[in-house]
Amino acid sequence: MNKRVAVIVGGGFGGVRAALDLSRHKHDLKVVLVDKNGYHSYPADYYKLLSPSSDHKEHFGPAKFRLMFSSVSIPLPEIFEGIESVEILTDEAVGFDVRASLVKLASGGEIKYDWLILAPGSVTNFYGVPGLKSRALEFKTTSDSLNLRNAVDEVFERKGKREPINIVVGGGGFTGCEVASELVGYADSLSRIHGHPRDSVYVSIIEASPVLLGPLSDWAKRKTEARLKKLGVKIFLSDPIIDVMDGALRLKSGKEIRFDVLVWAAGVKANFLGEKIEGAELAKGSCLMVDEYLRVGNHENIFAVGDIAFCEGFDKKPMPMTSQTAVSQGQYVAYSIKRQLHGRKIFKYHPRESKFIMPLGGKYAITDLGFVKISGFLAWYLKRFVALKYFLSILPATKAFKVWWRGARF
């Protein structure tokens, strides 16, 4: 019997979850997972790549950087080792022929599918700000995180001891607050190593809206702002960046701020692949409009999950671009395909509310679970537990503990 084929584009949270769930149907389904990088990343721990080293030696060789990289990125073959029904294809999807049910690859090849799951994630959105894309560092991938760490270290190497160092984070959302708070600790460590006066090192957040963390509760906003101020982070609100020049940026108010390192963490948009689906409708941020079954347009065999999918929750607001949303949608689509595989009716997707744990420098975090609010070490410890739980969901126990322990060391 010829197996039917499910092609998954993207090895992120939604793609990996769907592939693992579908791999259980090995007798009548083949899964092809297409990912241009060949590894699965855990962005929730990117902030740890900015943490000061426990041995206070911030000049890392290639071996240490490989160890740091592997603490948040897992090769896809490790996740699917021994699972014969899943084929890993390290290539990039660049287009689709939906009439012939084909995925077109950057290598020139094509893959025919019975079902297609789009899970390519998102990319940084620079909102057309002049000079921003060419002068700011992104914080979207493992490599971006390590590049930022290097950039800050190089500034301390280059600057004279009496010269000020300005590190600016664009965006006061989850990522911006995490990055700024962690950079404070890293700057402390580098200041000691280089003998640079700590009071001449400045970390700032620039946010266009009137408050940090707009969608969160007032408690979370107050706790976050208090923590950032305690760490010495400067906060600029209601003043968007409108122009970026070499070493300086201009705000809407006319104020000019100098920087040695500029990190852009203020927005994302869906991967460009959504634009390649014939008959698909795009929503805000280039996301694909999906129906109540997470299907794209009028294509009953094409699904979208994670950051690329525009899906409303029970409150009629767009589902957040979180790992929890992607995993939930990946599970649902795999279940739907299993039912279709056996000729059964599929059920509507029921969104799940995402919870958060936000690290804010050192062993401090905050979490608002609705029924309970926690800040400090306990919340940070809970975040480490959540990371372990996730790794155990995609890896054998020994490998999961190994990856988790690497992250715990930083």
Q: What is the pLDDT of residues 259-270, one digit of tens each?
A: 999 999 998 999
Q: How far apart are alpha carbons 281 and 296 in whole angstroms?
A: 8
- pLDDT band at residue 241 using 50, 70 and 90 as cut-offs: very high
Question: Could you give all domains of the chain from N- to C-terminal order, each with its CATH number?
Answer: 1-36+91-125+267-354 (3.50.50.60), 132-265 (3.50.50.60)
Mean pLDDT over residues 200-218, rounded?
93
Q: What is the pLDDT of residue 385?
A: 94
For the chain, report the end-to-end CA distance as a whole number of angstroms. 50
For residue 313, what are the contacts with CB-CB under 8 A and spacing of at least 6?
Answer: 319, 351, 353
Query: What residues does 256 pair with on adjacent strands?
Result: 250
Q: What is the arithmetic mean of pLDDT over 305-318?
A: 85
pLDDT for the residue numbered 63: 75
* DSSP labels, 322-366: -HHHHHHHHHHHHHHHHHHHTT-------------EEE-STT-EE
Q: Which residue has the tokens 């500029």?
A: 262
Cα 366 to chain centroid, rounded = 19
pLDDT for 139 beyond 90: yes
**How is residue 286 written in tokens?**
């280039």
| Residue listed under structure tokens 């968007």 | 240
Residue 160 phi/psi, 5° resolution? -70, 160
Q: How is residue 230 written in tokens?
A: 């305690």
CB 390 within 8 A of CB 55: no
- Residue 332's pLDDT is 97
Beta pairing partners, 69: none
CA–CA dist 338, 149 (Å, integer) = 44
Name the average pLDDT for the chain: 93
Cα 86 to Cα 25, 113, 147: the distances in Å are 10, 14, 33
- The H or E element that residue 19 is part of is helix 13-22
Residue 401 has pLDDT above 70, yes or no: yes
Reported as a single tens digit per residue, the pLDDT across 352-373 is 888 899 999 999 999 988 789 9
Provide mean pLDDT across the span 26-55: 90
267 or 134, which is more confident: 134
Confidence of residue 176 (pLDDT cuts 50, 70, 90): very high
pLDDT in the model for residue 16:
98
For residues 259 and 137, give the distance between their C-alpha atoms in angstroms, rounded to a whole number: 12
pLDDT at residue 410 is higher than 70: no
Rounded to the nearest angstrom, the gap between the alpha carbon of residue 5 and the centroid of all alpha carbons in its chain is 28
Tokens of 32: 């092809």
Q: Is the pLDDT of residue 174 over 90?
A: yes
Are 120 and 16 spatial neighbours (Cβ–Cβ below 8 Å)? no
What is the tens place of the pLDDT at every residue in 318-347?
A: 888 899 999 999 999 999 999 999 999 999
Rounded mean pLDDT, 277-293: 91
Asked if residue 395 lies in contact with residue 404, where contact means CB atoms within 8 angstroms, the answer is: no
Model pLDDT, residue 386:
94
Cα gap 228→48, rounded to integer Å: 17
C-alpha to C-alpha distance for 338 and 358, rounded to whole angstroms: 35
pTM of the model: 0.93
Q: What confidence score (pLDDT) does residue 59 get? A: 59
